[in-house]
Amino acid sequence: MNIFKKFRLKRKLIVKLAEWHFFGNPSKKLKIIGVTGTNGKTTVATLLFSIATGLGYKSGLISTVENIIGTKKDITLQNDKGPGTTPDPIFLNKLLNRMIEEGCEYVFMEVSSHALDQGRVAGIKFTGGIFTNLTHDHLDYHKDINNYFLAKKKFFEMLPKNSFALSNMDDSYGNAMCENIEAHSHFYGFGEKGEVVDFYGNILSSDFKGLSLDVNGEEFHSKLLGKFNAYNVLAVLGASKLLGFDIEKVKKVLNNINPPRGRFDYFLSKNNVTIIIDYAHTPDALEKVLLTVKEIKKPENRIISLFGCGGDRDPSKRAKMGLIGSSLSDIAIFTSDNPRSEDPDKIIDEMKNNLSGDEFVKVITIRDRRLAIGESVKLAKDGDIILCAGKGHEEYQEIKGVKYHFSDIEEYRKILK
């Protein structure tokens, strides 16, 4: 038998087993909310988990950063998961079963396009689904943006009749994501396209203290920063309402929640330099983070950005990210991300392909990420802002098939100490 045919048959068998047999299909005993989209999945899932926990509901979290059952961050939960955002069907059902055993009522999980395309969530009964946005990413896998969209849409097509679908109407794919589905459709947004939405937001203030939002006539506060996070908060509030949570209590809990690790995670150095660590690794995410920094910084302060692009991943976004980073920064340091099997110098060269003379003079190339971080600190003056993007929560760097311990947050804290 052809090896590829064997693989397809094996995958179908795994999917069926996951659907009907593994641990008695635990998803039927839980209220599971899935979050999909290019950016914001981790933030939305983590905020919802924190709110549900703060309201007294025992809950589970399955995210890129961590898996949590109630209050347990068992290291084995992280190590067994395997690569990627969403676990394979066997481990996923095992994890859900453990959540039932621990008395969890709600589960908030990220659902990636790879997982949807590969059937990793087949048979999972979702109570609701949330769509954040869809921008340039993973085209090395999906080949084009339409296939990427169709992979995401599979999630909403599998939602049952009694579930809800909550979609970002301001995104160009927001309405299409909910077309011809059985779930009850709801929309959120800031009215950028002039559409009528169920959960309408208006930003009252945005600075380094956080966000103040008006949502359907009520005022909410969050420690999260920037308009891109305002969308995440709006999605969370919409989902909270659809889940029947007490919104007055949600308001109080939300006010005290810190950003997820590595998601616009920031601290101030002794010489008054703000360091921001963020997972932004797509053109859209990098642009939104840098625009947020520009919005909330003082005019006299400079932006020093530091970022790279992953190896063995979609190379078409490298020049886009290089242009975005250099045009929106005063100084842009191009460095390594996870080069994997590729030559990091080649990746950095591709990041420079779209640069004009004005952008090019802003760029400093330092292949070694540790040295690049050190240089960013040396260059920073009183009041400057350093954005270190691309790896966020990650505690490794993958080079030539080997993962070495490396944390952007640790490196900055070491230097600044």
pLDDT in tens, 322-338: 999 999 999 999 999 99
For residue 84, the model assigns a pLDDT of: 55
Distance of alpha carbon 163 from alpha carbon 34, whole angstroms? 11
In the predicted structure, residue 92 carries a pLDDT above the cut 70: yes
For residue 75, the model assigns a pLDDT of: 45
Q: Give the chain's count of helices (H) and strands (E).
A: 15, 18
> How distant, in Å, are the alpha carbons of 141, 164, 370, 413 from that of 348?
21, 43, 16, 26
State whether the Cα torsion 238-239-245-251 is positive or negative. Answer: negative
For residue 1, the model assigns a pLDDT of: 42
The pair of three-digit structure tokens given for residue 144, joined into one six-digit string? 């084009």
For residue 21, the model assigns a pLDDT of: 58
6-19 in b/e burial notation, b at 16+ Cβ within 10 A? eeeeeeeebbeebb
Using a 10 angstrom Cβ sphere, with 0-12 exposed, 13-18 middle and 19 or more buried, the burial of residue 138 is buried
Tens-digit pLDDT profile for residues 38-69: 899 999 999 999 999 999 999 999 998 889 99
For residue 135, the model assigns a pLDDT of: 83
Task: State the pLDDT confidence band at 213, using cuts at 50, 70 and 90.
Answer: very high
For residue 6, the model assigns a pLDDT of: 47
- Ordered structural domains, the chain, with CATH: 3-254 (3.40.1190.10), 265-416 (3.90.190.20)
Residue pair 84/114 in contact by the 8 Å Cβ criterion: yes
In the predicted structure, residue 4 carries a pLDDT above the cut 70: no
Close Cβ partners of 366 (under 8 Å, ≥ 6 residues apart): 333, 334, 335, 372, 375
Distance of alpha carbon 325 from alpha carbon 305, whole angstroms? 7
The pair of three-digit structure tokens given for residue 294, joined into one six-digit string? 């520009």
| % of the chain at pLDDT higher than 90 | 72
For residue 8, the model assigns a pLDDT of: 52
Using a 10 angstrom Cβ sphere, with 0-12 exposed, 13-18 middle and 19 or more buried, the burial of residue 219 is exposed
| % of the chain at pLDDT higher than 70 | 89
Residue pair 362/395 in contact by the 8 Å Cβ criterion: no
For residue 417, the model assigns a pLDDT of: 79
In the predicted structure, residue 375 carries a pLDDT above the cut 60: yes
In the predicted structure, residue 155 carries a pLDDT above the cut 60: yes
Element holding 152 (H helix, E strand): helix 145-157
The gap from C-alpha 106 to its chain's centroid, in whole angstroms, comes to 20
Residue keyed to tokens 């660590």: 277
Close Cβ partners of 150 (under 8 Å, ≥ 6 residues apart): none
For residue 413, the model assigns a pLDDT of: 93
Task: State the pLDDT confidence band at 283, using cuts at 50, 70 and 90.
Answer: very high
Residue keyed to tokens 């989209």: 37
For residue 139, the model assigns a pLDDT of: 52
Record the pTM: 0.86
Tens-digit pLDDT profile for residues 13-33: 555 555 555 677 899 999 999
